[in-house]
A and B are shown apart, each in its own frame.
Chain A
């Protein structure tokens, strides 16, 4: 039953629930991503030690850790469908845009889980000064939204190529660098007591632009 305008919200919700359920059955992606995030965190923490007063380093390394975790795990949602040969069936049930939005929401949830584990550990291990929670969480949320928008779209493209894993990081990077730059400078401003308005607006605008382009492009990603 292909979805039309009225049922596309339901289709997105169904895709999200299906993603969560199939992830929960094996927890393969989640375990791998958490292990990866913690390994990166450990190597960063081990290499530089505690950085109590270097908020510039702290904000940069925090986003490098999160970027690595995202790059290691976020192409999974589409690659799993292609490797399991289930994408064709999925497309019979829902429109490309509904599939993509469902997977985007799943990736966002996935990032939130990873961050819920990684960020407190990071703050504790690195001896970071207490952040301004409102501003810090807003930046984390907007940064994750932008990361998820970019990586979901690239994941959809990359899942149809050879050598998916290796290509994903390289092809995503040009899209992720503005997110990295804005998030790092916002996080630093937050620690230094400055305003985060410009960075937050920039991240929101970038996420919105990526989302808008995605909605137009997803129909073109699958055609054959």
Chain B
């Protein structure tokens, strides 16, 4: 209860700070503020995918349904944040680059993540038997894990990116206004907390469903 309330206060406070306290970056102008929502959402997308894949590997090793609940829940929450990151990035791209979508490497890699999540969830929905569903979706997760580094490596080699990395790169951190950095890091912490809270809710529901013998 206290944790939930403080998470709410934390995110709300920094959201207000993002609008009234943190300054704007010259080139980005008003669109600077997407930084505090878009990047944390993208970070949670990656975190959730890694979480899901890690628990899939653990499932194959230990065969405990708990790991399957964790993997499935992380995939469901991951796709939610993936959509949030994609939409916010796309709106930003319209404002800065003039088009919602142009297959920039970052757009491509987040699209691949979305495909992997969607395929994982589609696969789950197509298998009735619980143990088989857990096993086969864990196998798929492990295969997808092979493709992720290749996607991250192939795509940037073939296309060239306009994504404003320097703002968050270690090199660029020198230029980053300390207030921007504080709000950004605080939102990163807030979004991570939000992920683990949602994750615990979803896993608890999955445990109850499992005990009651529902799908």
- 6 closest Cβ pairs, A-B complex: A161-B126, A178-B150, A171-B119, A174-B115, A174-B116, A178-B154
| A217 to B119 CA separation, bound complex (whole angstroms) | 18
Q: Is A198 close to B, CB under 8 A?
A: yes
The answer on a CB contact under 8 Å between B131 and A178 is: no
Residue from B123, B140, B147, B151 whose CB has the most chain A CB atoms within 10 Å: B147
A206: which B residues are within 8 A, CB to CB? 146-147, 150
A128: which B residues are within 8 A, CB to CB? none
A134: which B residues are within 8 A, CB to CB? none
Q: A173-B115, A182-B154, A202-B150 are in contact. Are A217 and B143 (CB under 8 A)?
A: yes
Chain B residues within CB distance 8 Å of chain A:
60, 112, 115-116, 118-119, 122-123, 126-129, 131-132, 135-136, 138-140, 142-144, 146-147, 150-151, 153-155, 157-158
Closest residue of chain A to B133, judged by CB?
Answer: A161
Q: For chain B, what secondary structure do more than half of its interface residues adopt (helix, strand, loop), or is it mixed?
A: helix
Q: Is A194 close to B, CB under 8 A?
A: no
A85: which B residues are within 8 A, CB to CB? none
B115: which A residues are within 8 A, CB to CB? 173-174, 177
The answer on a CB contact under 8 Å between B136 and A161 is: yes
B143: which A residues are within 8 A, CB to CB? 150, 153-154, 175, 210, 213-214, 217
Q: A178-B151, A220-B135, A221-B139 are in contact. Are A213 and B146 (CB under 8 A)?
A: yes
Closest residue of chain A to B128, judged by CB?
Answer: A162
The answer on a CB contact under 8 Å between A220 and B151 is: no
A181: which B residues are within 8 A, CB to CB? 154-155, 158
Closest residue of chain B to A218, judged by CB?
Answer: B139
Q: Is A130 close to B, CB under 8 A?
A: no
| A205 to B151 CA separation, bound complex (whole angstroms) | 13
| A214 to B140 CA separation, bound complex (whole angstroms) | 10
